[in-house]
Amino acid sequence: MKESDIYSELSSIRNLMERSTRFISLSGLSGVMAGVYALIGAYLGYRIVYPEASGLLYRDAYVNEPATLWQLVLVAVGVLVLSLATGIWLTVRQARRKNENPWNPVSKRLLLSMAIPLVTGGLLILIFLSRGYYGIVSSSCLIFYGLSLVAGSQFTFSDVKWLGFLEIVLGLLAALLPGYGLIFWVIGFGILHILYGSIMHFKYNQ
């Protein structure tokens, strides 16, 4: 057997093993679009919290108003729904291009591992909102999202783990500076998603 044939066979075996243990059909473009949606949502949130200001000042009083809070919640839910819908659509399309089943045992384990910290964080954030602890909501979103990415990274690309670590660090910084949560939201859910999605697209989806 030629050396080139051996390398080809080993590569095929490695790809087969990777497909059986990792979900590799994640779309990098879904990360880019999630970042774009987050930036749009952050801008809308900025106009809600700072309707007349031109700078990112600490404005805890505005966020404590029920009407303002519900507007921010609606914006956040809108960003989440759009991101999920786009991510599912692009990932399914990517899987079909690779002749893979997007709903397989590995993708199920991926979703389950990510769902546990996400659901836990979502419930905790609802408790914070009901108690009036608005200043730590942004940091909680980033931290639990980061934990979800780290948990799910064992079933997909390892790059996801590093994005999760960065989200956790940003969440901790946001906890130290609760009045500037919008800035950390822009960096974590907007800029990092666009950078990560672009890297993933050119690294794996070409």
The pLDDT tens digits for 13-31 are 445 444 444 555 577 788 8
Q: Is the pLDDT of residue 37 over 90?
A: yes
Do 27 and 94 form a contact (C-beta atoms < 8 A)?
A: yes
List pLDDT tens digits, range 194-203. Answer: 998 888 877 7
Of residues 5 and 202, the one with the higher pLDDT is: 202
Question: What does the pLDDT read at residue 24?
Answer: 58
Over range 107-124, report the average pLDDT: 88
Residue 73 neighbours by CB distance under 10 Å: 12
pTM of the model: 0.78
Do 194 and 38 form a contact (C-beta atoms < 8 A)?
A: no
Does residue 133 belong to any structural domain of this protein? Answer: yes
List pLDDT tens digits, range 131-159. Answer: 878 778 889 999 999 999 898 888 777 78
Q: Check residue 135 and report its DSSP letter.
A: G
Q: Residue 165's closest CA among 135, 138, 134, 192?
A: 192
Angle, CA 143 vertex, CA 137 and CA 144 arms, to 5°: 90
Q: How far lies 68's CA from each of 27, 153, 156, 195, in Å?
A: 34, 36, 38, 31
Q: How far lies 41's CA from each of 36, 48, 58, 86, 87, in Å?
A: 9, 10, 19, 15, 17
Q: Model confidence at 108, in pLDDT bands (50, 70, 90)?
A: confident
Question: What does the pLDDT read at residue 53?
Answer: 57
Does residue 142 belong to any structural domain of this protein? Answer: yes
Question: What does the pLDDT read at residue 63?
Answer: 59
Question: What does the pLDDT read at residue 13?
Answer: 43
Number of domains in the chain: 1
Does residue 104 belong to any structural domain of this protein? Answer: yes
Any idea which residue has 């070409």 for tokens? Answer: 206
Expressed in angstroms, the distance from the first to the final Cα of the chain is 31
Does residue 9 belong to any structural domain of this protein? Answer: no
Question: What does the pLDDT read at residue 4?
Answer: 52
Does residue 22 belong to any structural domain of this protein? Answer: no
Domain that holds residue 195: 29-204
Does residue 149 belong to any structural domain of this protein? Answer: yes
Of residues 7 and 160, the one with the higher pLDDT is: 160
Mean pLDDT, the chain, integer: 78
Alpha helices, H only, the chain: 3-21, 28-49, 60-63, 66-97, 105-131, 137-152, 159-176, 181-185, 192-204
Do 174 and 142 form a contact (C-beta atoms < 8 A)?
A: yes
Does residue 15 belong to any structural domain of this protein? Answer: no
Does residue 5 belong to any structural domain of this protein? Answer: no
Q: Is the pLDDT of residue 12 over 70?
A: no
Question: What does the pLDDT read at residue 169?
Answer: 95
